[in-house]
Amino acid sequence: MQIAPPYLLFIGDATDHLSIKMARGAADWRPELCVGEYSIDGCTVTTGLEQLDIKQAAAKGAKSFVLGFANSGGVLEQKWLPYIHEALENGMDVVSGLHDKMTDFDDIRAKAKATGQQLLDIRHPKAEFKTGTGVKRTGKRLLTVGTDCSVGKMYTSLSLEKAMKSKGYNVDFRATGQCGILIAGSGVAIDCVISDFLSGATEGLSPDAANDHWDIIEGQGSLSHPAFAGVSLGLLHGSQPDAIVICHALERTHMRGLPDSKFPSIANTIELNLQAAKLTNPNAKIVGITVNTSMVSVEQGRAICQQLSEEFDLPCVDPLRDGTDSIVENLS
């Protein structure tokens, strides 16, 4: 699934920063792919990009109209349909990461056909996947894994890609979620792949490559999360990682969304992921730890990272506050 830049990021009437994570991810990591954002009355958040309406964005060459917001249940509300129609009429493809498919709306589908534009429901892969083989592929791979969901696996992956490129590495970010796909322009929403094909889809996402090439594969879920461990395991087996980075967030007492669950330690997370990874790559190793320290001061965060670095004899950083250069240096 390929998304044509540049993008107009539509954030509607959002009032919560977390609800526009699709738009924020693109604005933070690929601002050069965006012409601006479009919000309507009632919106109280922003990506920080220039405010444009659909006609203004089309005049600036926008090729894709991105629904950059999320809501409970991933519902495509009726109130957004006129904006989708207008974008199609102005020569833009429309991109959605919602659970509801735009292609299930007869009027949108008819309008797209009439205008010759694409409806890209990036949460719903169209490709046919094969089952995994476990056959070793050429090239090198790094996978981000987590103690829990939403601990910074995508931001860690993108920080690593940025740091590696700055050091001259031959490297690509491989997206496995809707936000990552928007940032990369392509990828597979791995949590929507039928379970039998998870590892095979991951193998296809990161095929044979030159011996010096690195793929940074965006992790999903957590092996310790009762709801999402299956996705995490399929990613581990299919990515065959040479290197693994553990991602963690401070002050969690239970798995996200499950108040009665037990939160794993970093040590336990390392043990679980190494054991699973070695099925398809016996040489897999942990190369670093990242921590989301945004809930404490910079000084406190760095002290915590230093303590974890000493405890596990691994570089440990907050990827947004401190970057990931020290982890990259540990790859060689």
The string of pLDDT tens digits covering residues 57-86 is: 999 999 999 999 987 778 999 999 999 999
pLDDT-derived band at 17 (thresholds 50, 70, 90) equals confident
pLDDT for residue 61: 97
Tell me if domain 7-121 and domain 140-329 are identical in fold: yes
- What are the residues whose beta carbons fall under 8 Å from the beta carbon of 101, sequence distance 6 or more? 76, 121, 124
Q: Which two tokens stand for residue 31?
A: 């601002």
pLDDT for residue 329: 97
Average pLDDT over residues 112-138: 94
3-state SS record for 98-128: CCCCHHHCHHHHHHHHHHCCCEEECCCCCCC
- Chain segment 28-46, per-residue pLDDT in tens: 999 999 999 999 999 999 9
- Chain segment 192-204, per-residue pLDDT in tens: 899 999 999 999 9
pLDDT for residue 285: 98
pLDDT for residue 266: 98
Distance from chain centroid for Cα 27: 13
Alpha-carbon gap, residue 235 to 224, rounded angstroms: 14
Alpha-carbon gap, residue 233 to 196, rounded angstroms: 12
Distance (Å) of CA 176 to CA 24, 81, 87, 182:
17, 27, 26, 10
pLDDT for residue 284: 98
- What does CATH list as the number for 140-329? 3.40.50.300
pLDDT for residue 143: 98
pLDDT for residue 125: 83
Above 90 in pLDDT, residue 235? yes
- What are the residues whose beta carbons fall under 8 Å from the beta carbon of 136, sequence distance 6 or more? 240, 280, 281
Above 70 in pLDDT, residue 1? no
pTM: 0.89
In angstroms and rounded to an integer, the radius of gyration of the C-alpha atoms of the chain is 20
Above 90 in pLDDT, residue 332? no
Contact criterion met (CB below 8 Å) for 330 and 246: no
Average pLDDT over residues 277-301: 97
- Specify the CATH architecture of the domain 7-121: 3-Layer(aba) Sandwich (3.40)
Sheet of 316-317: strand order equals 170-174, 213-217, 140-146, 243-249, 285-292, 316-317
Q: Which of 234, 218, 46, 247 is nearest to 129 (CA)?
A: 234
CA angle 264, 266, 271 (to 5 degrees): 90
Averaged confidence pLDDT in the chain: 95
Judging by beta carbons within 10 Å of its beta carbon (0-12, 13-18, 19+), is residue 32 exposed, middle or buried? exposed
- Domain ranges for the chain, please list them: 7-121, 140-329
